[in-house]
Amino acid sequence: MEKGASVPFSYGLIIIEKLNFGLNTNMFKENKYTKYYNLLTSRANGRVLNEYTERHHIIPQSLGGSNDKDNLVDLTAREHFICHWLLIKMTEGEHRSKMLYALNGMKAENRFQQRYSSSITARVYERYRIEHAKNHSERMKGKEPWNKGRKLEGDELEVHLERARTRRKPSPETVAAAQAIRIAKVTGQKRSIETKEKMSLAKKGIAKGAMSEEHKAAISTGGKGIKKHEGHGDKVRQANIGNVSINKDGDEKKVKRDALDQWLSDGWKLGGRKRKHCS
């Protein structure tokens, strides 16, 4: 068959029958969804796409499908999602259970995949995710976890620890990118008096004041070896220019001088609150 040539509707049925040899012939129901599935996969066979595609097994591997060329087609992300949606409607019993697992995996994303996403996807995923959860719970009842009470040792333990260390230590590039996003979100923001009051109330009851020697030592140890970026001191000094300490009901904060009158009219007083130094 020539690339890009039109494919007759029956071609998908022929593929299914050919690949179904030796398998359960009642694998798929005889309904409109099976016809839609056959039509979609048959049209994709032999087609050339100059866009992102995903490889799909016409007969799913979990149902006995092979990696033979005749059992593979390249689909768009949307077509791939639709195929797995149809497979649930085409099957029943144990086969349907396996197809629920497959559809659940369609939401797994990584840097190599561009999963199809729309309001329809969300509704379908939610509906069958609930069914998948119940199905998985029933399948797991009475089964002993394979790793329960199992102690990792030797090379297996080292591999596990290395993975954990890698997860805990993101690359400097990742940290810098995350920091840039956080800074961009707050840059230029101006909080209203109401917002500041809410933030103040949220902090009430949280101990403030002079730090204990243990706390100071912990901060000192945690900051050792971390070099502050160039201009850090200037930014700190600039941020504190014009700040005035005020207190109210045992709470303290620093505010800009141009907003001082608003805070004083609300019952705040000049100066910091009295502190009890930790021994």
In this prediction, residue 120 carries a pLDDT of 64
The answer on pLDDT for 24 being more than 50 is no
109 vs 127: CA distance, rounded Å: 19
DSSP one-letter code for 209: S
Give residue limits of the domains in the chain.
Answer: 10-140, 241-273
CA dist 162 → 56, 136, 157 (Å): 34, 31, 9
Q: How confident is the model at residue 78 (pLDDT cuts 50, 70, 90)?
A: confident
Task: Tell me which residue of 55, 57, 152, 150 sits closest to 98, measured CA to CA.
Answer: 57
If one counts every other C-beta atom within 10 angstroms of the C-beta of residue 113, the result is: 13
Residue, of 51 and 110, whose pLDDT is higher? 51
Does this model's pTM top 0.75? My answer is no
pLDDT tens for residues 142-197? 888 777 788 888 888 888 888 887 766 677 888 888 888 888 888 888 888 888 88
263 vs 246: CA distance, rounded Å: 8
The answer on pLDDT for 4 being more than 60 is no
User: Which percentage of the chain shows pLDDT scores above 70?
Assistant: 80
